[in-house]
């Protein structure tokens, strides 16, 4: 095994920097060749944040700039014969987040000035669209070659204001105006590539640009961003071995853990298994399974939208939908599904071709636990660290097969929480249990379901399978009857672990667990 420390490009989104600095690069250049030699020269790709969209855009920049030296040893080297240098106008809109009208215009001014310092500026060009049009024409005239326009995170200025009607309209008009020359300048353009998280409607931003090809769900490009399991097993084999050695577990176990935590994304169907690249690289760099993607920013607009659409934590995953219900413009959405899908909180898990329906669910443990952590304060009004500590202790009791202590701990914890008024309705306590038990997922295997009216939880430790039933204002005995009725022990006989039945009654008067029964 090599002794040199492997360099992981964490937070580096510039292709030339990665190649020149000898950082790990997962070769995506075959997809790039395919994409730039397809029928369409106007292409749009949407992927969740931290999925490598900026690196992809930067790779296109190097490719169209004719930087053959950077592609040595990559698929592109054997595919591309000509290496023509085209003028490239690259706009990174991610710097224009959380802006108002004035700030957005200043950002655009800054970006345009940068290119104008190379290609000059016409005196009569004042508005962003006139300046962009002038730039494209001059770049074409000065170089004698058609121009490549790359727009990274085209929707960044709009994402924060999706839920603010007036503001969205104002900023959307500025962006529409800025993008409008892309249609008029067609003869001067070689290739136009846009990335973003969400799909805004044709109507709103690209009213003129009707020739744009959205490849987000096209099978040939399923793995253009993110890291596939094949890529990981071939191009990151040493990284996996190093991680296994560090954690003192087998390579098989490392693969299982990486899969459980960071895999599970599919942007079309069928699709290879895709890992979140940001989380994967961080896990290899740190030598541990952390919660990276979530830690890099919890979008407040997501929480606002869950509230707006009245979506409970337990309702985030497990959906069935037609493609127009999730691959849909977020600004006209009538449910939260498009936002959850495009932001990467749910992903495609199956497809019924007869009905034309997709199954959507939370991709993996990292997203599930991260999401529940950020929703927790809305259901349990104690400091988050206190709850996290309680969850950690709770999991230890359960792993030590001391369910009685675990429930006593939970009972004490719940009775110290200052409650809000809406706890009398069953949904609130259900969601609270749903979140607390989902958070146990960091420590044990857990499955929580909340059909209306009750909660059932299945917890699996190394030695025991617990099946739990929760009732509201009944008795533990009635909850136990429910477990026996459902024939749980038979259903789980296959897993080979002894099944322990746990029946719990929640007392809404005292706002905590009333009584419970445990039967082996």
Q: Give the pLDDT means over successive 10-residue stretches in the chain (520 positions).
A: 74 96 97 96 93 97 98 97 97 91 96 98 95 98 98 88 79 90 93 88 62 92 97 95 96 95 96 96 94 73 84 90 89 87 94 97 94 84 83 95 95 77 64 89 85 79 92 91 80 82 89 91
Q: What is the pLDDT of residues 188-224, one digit of tens each?
A: 999 999 999 887 665 456 666 678 899 999 999 999 9
Q: Are 249 and 255 in contact (CB under 8 A)?
A: no
pLDDT for res 2: 46
In Å, the largest CA–CA distance within the chain is 84
pLDDT tens digits along 97-142:
889 999 999 999 999 999 999 999 999 999 999 999 999 999 999 9
Measure the CA–CA gap between 88 and 182, rounded to whole angstroms: 14
pLDDT at site 55: 97
pLDDT, residue 425, reads: 59
Helix (H) / strand (E) containing 148: strand 147-152
- Is the CB of residue 52 less than 8 Å from the CB of residue 102? no
And the tokens for 411?
């009972």
Burial class (CB in 10 A: 0-12, 13-18, 19+), 421: exposed
In angstroms, the CA 182 to CA 148 distance is 11
Rounded to an integer, what distance in angstroms lies between the CA atom of residue 137 and that of residue 509?
Answer: 73
For the chain, give the number of residues.
520
C-alpha 270/C-alpha 279 separation (Å) is 23
Residue 325 phi, psi (nearest 5)? -90, -15
Kindly state the tokens that stand for 78.
Answer: 């054997």
For the question of whether the overall pTM of this predicted structure is more than 0.75, the answer is: yes
pLDDT score at 1 = 43
DSSP characters over 31-71: HHHHHHTSS-SEEEEE--TTSSHHHHHHHHHHHHTT-GGGG
Cα 208 to Cα 363: distance, rounded to the nearest angstrom:
35
What pLDDT digit, counting tens, does each position of 237-282 carry? 999 999 999 999 999 999 999 999 999 999 999 999 999 999 999 9
For residues 281 and 24, is the Cβ–Cβ distance under 8 A? yes
The pLDDT assigned to 442 comes to: 83
Is 494 within 8 Å of 460 (Cβ atoms)?
Answer: no
Backbone angles phi, psi at 470, to 5 degrees: -115, 130
pLDDT of amino acid 201: 64
């Amino acid at each position: 095994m090599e002794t040199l420390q492997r360099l992981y490009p964490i937070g580096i989104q510039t292709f030339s920097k990665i190649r020149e600095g000898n950082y790990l690069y997962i070769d995506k250049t075959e997809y790039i060749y395919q994409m730039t030699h397809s029928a369409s020269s106007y292409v749009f790709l949407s992927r969740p944040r931290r999925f490598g969209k900026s690196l992809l855009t930067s790779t296109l920049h190097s490719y169209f700039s004719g930087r053959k030296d950077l592609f040595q040893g990559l698929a592109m080297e054997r595919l591309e014969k000509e290496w023509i240098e085209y003028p490239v106008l690259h706009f990174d809109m991610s710097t224009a987040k959380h802006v108002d009208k004035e700030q957005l215009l200043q950002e655009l001014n800054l970006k345009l000035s940068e290119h104008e310092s190379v290609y000059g500026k016409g005196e009569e060009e004042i508005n962003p669209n006139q300046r962009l049009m002038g730039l494209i024409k001059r770049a074409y005239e000065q170089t004698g070659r058609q121009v490549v326009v790359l727009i990274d995170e085209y929707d960044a200025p709009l994402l924060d204001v999706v839920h603010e009607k007036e503001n969205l309209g104002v900023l959307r008009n500025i962006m529409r105006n800025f993008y409008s020359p892309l249609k008029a300048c067609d003869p001067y353009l070689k290739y136009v590539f846009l990335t973003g998280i969400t799909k805004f409607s044709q109507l709103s931003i690209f009213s003129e640009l009707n020739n744009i090809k959205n490849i987000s769900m096209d099978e040939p490009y399923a793995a253009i961003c993110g890291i596939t399991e094949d890529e990981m097993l071939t191009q990151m084999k040493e990284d996996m071995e190093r991680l296994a050695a560090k954690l003192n577990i087998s390579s098989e176990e490392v693969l299982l853990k990486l899969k459980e935590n960071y895999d599970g994304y599919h942007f079309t169907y069928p699709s290879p298994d895709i890992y979140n690249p940001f989380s994967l690289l961080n896990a290899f760099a740190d030598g541990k399974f952390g919660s990276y993607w979530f830690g890099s920013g919890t979008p407040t607009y997501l929480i606002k939208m869950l509230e707006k659409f009245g979506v409970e934590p337990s309702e985030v995953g497990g959906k069935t939908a037609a493609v127009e219900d999730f691959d849909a413009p977020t600004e006209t959405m009538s449910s939260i599904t498009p936002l959850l899908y495009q932001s990467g909180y749910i992903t495609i898990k199956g497809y019924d071709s007869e009905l034309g329906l997709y199954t959507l669910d939370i991709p993996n443990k990292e997203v599930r636990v991260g999401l529940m952590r950020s929703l927790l304060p809305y259901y349990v009004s104690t400091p988050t660290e206190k709850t996290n500590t309680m969850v950690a202790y709770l999991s230890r009791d359960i792993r030590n097969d001391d369910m009685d202590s675990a429930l006593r701990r939970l009972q004490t914890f719940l009775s110290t929480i200052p409650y809000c008024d809406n706890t009398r309705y069953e949904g609130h306590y259900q969601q609270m249990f749903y979140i607390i038990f989902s958070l146990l997922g960091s420590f044990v295997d857990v499955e929580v379901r909340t059909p209306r009216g009750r909660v059932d939880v299945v917890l699996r430790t190394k030695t025991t399978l617990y099946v739990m039933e929760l009732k509201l204002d009944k008795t533990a005995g009635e909850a136990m009857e429910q477990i026996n009725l459902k024939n749980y022990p038979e259903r789980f006989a296959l897993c080979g672990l002894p099944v322990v039945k746990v029946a719990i009654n929640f007392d809404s008067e005292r706002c905590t667990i009333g009584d419970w029964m445990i039967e082996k």
